[in-house]
Structure formats: structure tokens, C-alpha cells
Amino acid sequence: MVYTAVMANGKKAVRQSISIPIPVAERVRAMAKTRRTSANRVLVNLIEIGLESKEAEKERFFFLAKRLTETSDPKEQRRIKDELARMTFGE
């Protein structure tokens, strides 16, 4: 069952149940205690930061892909290809 509520910023919220590993939950609770806020607020902040990070990574990828098509310098092409490969497949 999903419940909706209105959060402090006026946007609707959806109640979502998740399971997280115990070590992660302990870290979240410690962060909440340090910040004097709820574990829920910490989780929401972490999720928002993660989503923004993923969006920035996607924008960087498309920027590099565009640069790759525009450059004719072989050294620059190799550098961009290497960076795109790292972004795609990891180190």
C-alpha cells in the first residue's frame, strides 16, 4: 500500500518501503543524529544527490561524445575515447 502526504516544501510525497543493509542503516542513523534530523530526511537527501550525480554524469558523457565527433586531433580523440571507456566500463 502506498500513502501520499505533503512534505514541508509543498510537494507531494510517496511513502516507499525499502530494505537496506544494516551497515548502511547504521550510517544513515549516525548522519541523522549528527545533523539533528530524521533518517528519512537523510535518505531523501542522499537519493537526490545520487540522482543529480547520475544526471551530471550523463551530461558529461554526451558532451564528450559530441567533442569526439567535432575534433580532428588524434591525441584528443584518444583521450576522449579513453575517458568514455572509463565512464562506460569503469577503470
Are 64 and 71 a contacting pair, CB within 8 Å? no
The residue among 29 and 4 whose pLDDT is bigger is 29
- State the pLDDT at residue 22: 97
Tell me the C-alpha distance between 60 and 43, whole Å.
26
The residue among 65 and 1 whose pLDDT is bigger is 65
Over residues 19-75, the pLDDT tens digits come to 999 999 999 999 999 999 999 999 999 999 999 999 999 999 999 999 999 999 999
Answer yes or no: is pLDDT of 85 > 70: yes
Answer yes or no: is pLDDT of 80 > 50: yes
- State the pLDDT at residue 3: 47
Tell me the C-alpha distance between 20 and 46, whole Å.
13
